[in-house]
Structure 1
Amino acid sequence: MTQLSTFSQHRLLLYYKGDISALTLFAQHGNGSVCFPEPLPVLAEILEAEHAESGKVSRHPAMLVNVINQLLHLDNDLLRIEPGFSEHVNNPGGIITVHMARFMLLDPPHKLMQSRQCRMRTLPELRGRPQVEMELLRRAYVKVMES
């Protein structure tokens, strides 16, 4: 199994939140997507909780972080899974589960992510992304602000 095949039914949103300022930034891939390691399929749409499959065996989100660390050449302690965030997206190939991981740094990782052809963006800077990504970002932002 290749690293990318690990993500055939999974994606991660990567974010930074300043502990003092509450500045919240989301990582945006060089291809424009906020989903890592690759964008969601074009026909993807959010599934509400009552329509998501339950009881299905799935990968633990920490394993997904390990793969992202390898793909982006990040230190193993740089990202931490955000507990309680799991959104389901429907697409013709099946359901994709989207998790969220937080950068565990004092300062935003702008230079680090730029060196990986990615950028750290605020929500207003991400306007114009596909509707499914904007809804994922909205839900992620609510989760971040509530925690």
Structure 2
Amino acid sequence: MSLAPHAEPRFLLYHLQPISARLLFMRHASGSVLAPRPLPFLTNPIEDDPPQSKLDLIQQVTLGMRLNASLGFEPGMLVVEPDFLRRAEIPRAVVDLHLARFTSHDPPHEAARLKGAVFQPITELRGGHPVEMAMLRWAYEYLLAG
């Protein structure tokens, strides 16, 4: 991996229904599954083993607060998963890729709709940017193992 500087982190937002275990991911108005904005076109996933470091509580809360604020959500609506971190190379930088979970019992469909976004199962998210497809695969494997 290069020693490039780090860029703005991206987040894959998901909702896991606690009773039915239905897993949905948010697809944004841009068509991307990553927030707060899509990755640049020339991005490659870093497929080696994920970094072993996990977020400490301060990092987790700070990232969560920034993410909720940048998307216009109430504090605590999204919580960043402390044990999940993948990376991708973008032109002249490396970007951290995180998972963030909606904390509500049911998916916040109305909040998503107001932002031009929708919740979709992984089977409906095919054909996106290769890094986004890798991110969905990594997230799915992580969540199934959890």
Q: What TM-score results when the alignment is normalised by the length of structure 2?
A: 0.84
Per-residue deviation, residues 17-42 of structure 1 (Å, max 9, x unmatched): 01111111111110001111010111
Q: Identify the residue that residue 37 of structure 2 maps to in structure 1.
A: 38
Write the distance in 1 (CA, Å) between the matches of 2:49 and 2:67: 29
* Change in 2 beyond 3 A, CA 1:97/1:61: farther
CA RMSD of aligned residues (A): 2.1
Q: Within 5 A, what are the aligned runs for 1:111-130? A: 111-130=110-129
Write the distance in 1 (CA, Å) between the matches of 2:18 and 2:124: 21
Unaligned 5+ runs, structure 2: 1-5
Q: Mean Cα displacement is larger for which, 69-78 or 83-92? A: 69-78
Identical positions, percent: 35
Q: Identify the residue that residue 82 of structure 2 maps to in structure 1.
A: 83
Q: What TM-score results when the alignment is normalised by the length of structure 1?
A: 0.84
Q: CA deviation at 1:121?
A: 1.1
Preserved CA contact (<8 Å) 1:61 1:99: no
* Change in 2 beyond 3 A, CA 1:124/1:73: same
Count residues in correspondence.
136
SS in 1 for 2:35: coil
SS in 1 for 2:34: coil
Q: CA deviation at 1:60?
A: 2.6
Q: Within 5 A, what are the aligned runs for 1:1-147? A: 8-49=7-48, 60-147=59-146
Q: CA deviation at 1:71?
A: 2.2
Unaligned 5+ runs, structure 1: 1-6
* Change in 2 beyond 3 A, CA 1:99/1:46: same
Q: CA deviation at 1:74?
A: 1.1
Write the distance in 1 (CA, Å) between the matches of 2:49 and 2:121: 30
Write the distance in 2 (CA, Å) between the matches of 1:117 and 1:67: 20
1:33 alignment partner AA:
S
